[in-house]
Amino acid sequence: MENPVAKKWSQEVWFAIFTSFALFFVLFCFDYSTLLAADKRVLTPLVNKQENPLVISDNKTGSTGKNSGSDPCAGQYIYIHDLPSRFNSDLLKNCRLLTRGTKNSMCPYIENEGLGPLVEDYEGVLSNKSWFSTNQFMLEVIFHSKMMQYRCLTKDSSMASAVFVPFYAGLDVSLRLWDANISMRDSSAHDLLNWLSKKPEWKKMWGRDHFMVAGRISWDFRRQTDNTTDWGSKLRFLPESMNMSMLSVEASSWRNDYAIPYPTYFHPSRDSAVFEWQSRMRGRTRPYLFTFAGAPRPDLTNSIRGKVIDQCQTSNSCKFIDCGSVQNSCSKPVTVMRVFQSSVYCLQPPGDSYTRRSIFDSVLAGCIPVFFHPGTAYSQYVWHFPKNHTKYSVYIPVRDVMKDLTEGSIEKVLLGISKNEEASMREEVIKLIPKIVYADPRSRLETLEDAFDLAVKGIIERVEEVRRVIKEGNDPSVGFAEEDSYKYTFSQYNNRG
């Protein structure tokens, strides 16, 4: 006969085993489903989708930097292409070949990350060890050096708001500007664009987020024919290049060219150096009413240089620095800055092209620039100069040299400006100093934005505008590389005289 106690005990054991098993099964299923869901969340972004390059999504960092959480670089990341050395560093190694057609060697100017030799003898004119004998053609080297220290670089191109192409276009073209062989003159441009167009970064926006920098005027890269007598290379008219933007010391009339300041001799390594210099310029005594530093251009039809020089030399209130003399005082930083610091106004007529390095040397000296054509500054440096040009400069439009520059007309205009207005303009000029200098690439300013910072900000905004056009379903090529025939016309600017 079966023991009822044993039977009951056996039933309870089996019940306990069954209950434990059931509970374990439920918990296991719940935990596995949770892990599976989490696993799916991780794997989802890795699905490979074929993307239309003209239908782009937001950058990983956010397109404008808004709502970016804790990332201070959101919307500011830059990706740098690692170009073959023939497009940049090899050019510096062969610096003796860069000045064909001239007597000067470019080799000394490569020193100090492209800033050139340190100015040792200040002669009481310069303030500290922030001054260098900088050559304007070194801008692309200086910009590259500063970009390598940019605080928001990324090696992940998908995070980049813009893509920098460190091609030393100006130095490269200087090797071949006098070459009668057109194909040789354009060879580097073709090779560069062939290399770029094969990169995955290019296909993201077909190059419209790419930019490069040149220390020459952009017209040097816009040869429109294949006549051997025509100047420059065809870089900016090649199809791939038309999708890119170029920053140079002087922009052409095409919409994808942008002007940024010529490099000056001043490259501060700290904010205090800028503040000290600004204070010094505010306290300067300025015995000359106006100054002109330059050389005549007798071979240029309708050049106003000769008239400006004549009016300066016949005035007791003007100081003339002859850059065409044997001594060429204009190549000496101390000489130029000494005169500009002693002048109220600095005349800035066009020369071989619309713009002049002297514009920025005069601003650096607290000397109010006087312009005669809108293409010398107003239509050019839109990221660096105020839109209201009357706040910091004098404008005397010269459409016809013989009619608009009569004897003594420049001095008459300048004498008609009140002392209060003069002081106000000079203060605006002195405030511009941090915006038009390139700080030493080996350091970083703390609170001030220099010319480099404003240029990077400007190109990022430009690329974001293209992204907006694409997202709205419009064609980004419309207007991107078109010529603006009204860019350098006189009508949109008010004159002083």
CATH code, 313: 3.40.50.2000
Tokens of 343: 């002048």
Q: Is 353 in the same domain as 228?
A: no
pLDDT higher than 90, residue 367: yes
Mean pLDDT of 223-245: 95
The pLDDT score that the predictor gives to residue 103 is 64
The per-residue pLDDT for 327 is: 67
Q: Is the pLDDT assigned to residue 273 strictly greater than 80?
A: yes
Lowest mean pLDDT of 1-5, 179-183, 328-332, name the range.
Answer: 1-5
Q: Is residue 466 part of a domain?
A: yes
The phi-psi region of residue 479 (left if phi > 0; otherwise alpha if psi is between -120 and 50; otherwise beta) is left
Q: Does any domain span residue 21?
A: no
Domain that holds residue 318: 283-433
Tens digit of each residue's pLDDT (9 = 90 or more) over 103-148: 678 999 999 999 999 998 778 899 878 999 999 999 999 999 999 9
**Domain presence at residue 4:** no
For residue 50, pLDDT beyond 70: no
Which comes out higher in pLDDT, residue 124 or 204? Answer: 204
Query: pLDDT at position 407, please?
Result: 86
pLDDT tops 60 at residue 480: yes
- The answer to whether residue 47 scores a pLDDT higher than 50 is no
| Digit-coded pLDDT (tens) for 299-311 | 766 678 889 999 9
| pLDDT for the residue numbered 121 | 78
What is d(CA 391, CA 401) in angstroms, rounded to the nearest whole number?
A: 26
Query: Once rounded to an integer, what is the mean pLDDT over residues 238-257?
Result: 97
Could you tell me if residue 23 is inside a domain? no
Confidence of residue 8 (pLDDT cuts 50, 70, 90): very low
- Residues 165-191 have a mean pLDDT of 93
Is there a single domain that holds both residue 198 and residue 346? Answer: no
In the predicted structure, residue 275 carries a pLDDT above the cut 90: yes
Count of residues making up the chain: 497
Greatest alpha-carbon pair distance for the chain in Å reads 141
CA distances 269 to 37, 144, 361, Å, are 53, 17, 18
Q: What is the pLDDT of residue 279?
A: 97
pLDDT at 171: 96
Res 338 pLDDT > 60: yes
Each residue's pLDDT tens digit, 12-26: 545 555 555 555 444
How high is the pLDDT of residue 70?
87
Number of domains in the chain: 2
Instruction: Give the pLDDT score at 177.
Output: 84
Residue 88 or residue 60, greater confidence: 88
Instruction: Return mean pLDDT, the chain.
Output: 86
What angle, rounded to 10 degrees, do the helices at 451-471 and 139-147 form?
A: 80
* Together in a domain, 295 and 235: no
Q: Are residues 234 and 290 in the same domain?
A: no
Q: Would you state the pLDDT for residue 153?
A: 98
* Residue 371 sits in the same domain as residue 242: no
Residues 150 and 259 in one domain: yes
- Flag whether 157 is in a domain: yes
pLDDT at 132: 95
Same domain for 287 and 254: no
What does the pLDDT read at residue 252?
96
Kindly report which listed range (285-294, 365-374, 400-409, 444-453) carries the lowest average pLDDT score: 400-409
Quickly state the pLDDT bin for 298 (edges 50, 70, 90).
confident
Q: What is the pLDDT of residues 206-227, one digit of tens each?
A: 999 999 999 999 999 999 999 9
Q: What is the pLDDT of residue 98?
A: 85
Weakest-pLDDT range from 60-64, 255-259, 430-434: 60-64
> What number is the average pLDDT over the span 321-335?
80
Look at 317-331, 381-395, 402-416, 439-453 and tell me which has the smallest mean pLDDT: 317-331
Q: What is the 3-state secondary structure (H, E, C) of the chain?
A: CCCHHHHHHHHHHHHHHHHHHHHHHHHHHHHHHHHHHHHHHHHHHHCCCCCCCCCCCCCCCCCCCCCCCCCCCCCCCEEECCCCHHHCHHHHHCHHHCCCCCCCCCHHHHHHHHCCCECCCCCCCCCCCCEECCCHHHHHHHHHHHHCCCCCECCCHHHCCEEECCCCHHHHHHCCCCCCCHHHHCHHHHHHHHHHHCCHHHHHHCCCCEEEEECCCHHHHCCCCCCCCCCCCCHHHCCCHHHCEEEECCCCCECCEEECCCCCCECCCCHHHHHHHHHHHHCCCCCEEEEEEECCCCCCCCCCHHHHHHHHHCCCCEEEEECCCCCCHHHCHHHHHHHHHCEEEEEECCCCCCCCCHHHHHHHCCCEEEECCHHHCCCCCCCCCCCCHHHCCEECCCCCHHHHCCCCHHHHHHHCCCHHHHHHHHHHHHHHHHHHCCCCCCCCCCCCCCHHHHHHHHHHHHHHHHHHHHHCCCCCCCCCCCECCCCCCCCCCCCCC
pLDDT above 90: residue 36 = no
Model confidence at 490, in pLDDT bands (50, 70, 90)?
A: confident
At 194 the pLDDT is 98
Q: What is the pLDDT of residue 100?
A: 56
Bridge partners (DSSP) listed for residue 125: none
Question: How far is 277 from 128, CA to CA, in rounded Å?
Answer: 9
Domain-embedded: residue 174: yes
Task: Name the band, by pLDDT with cuts 50, 70 and 90, for residue 465.
Answer: very high
pLDDT score of 410 more than 90: yes
Same structural domain, 340 and 212: no
> Quick one: average pLDDT of 353-370?
97
Q: Give domain status of residue 275, yes or no.
A: no
| Same domain as 308, residue 222 | no
Answer yes or no: do 427 and 455 share one domain: no
Residue 81's pLDDT band (boundaries 50, 70, 90)? very high
Is 42 inside a domain boundary?
no
The whole-number pLDDT of residue 330 equals: 81
My answer on whether 387 and 324 are in the same domain is yes
Q: Residue for token digits 């002297």?
A: 358
pLDDT at position 323: 87
Q: Answer yes or no: is pLDDT of 30 > 80.
A: no
Residues 142 and 258 in one domain: yes
- Determine the average pLDDT of the residues in 26-34: 40
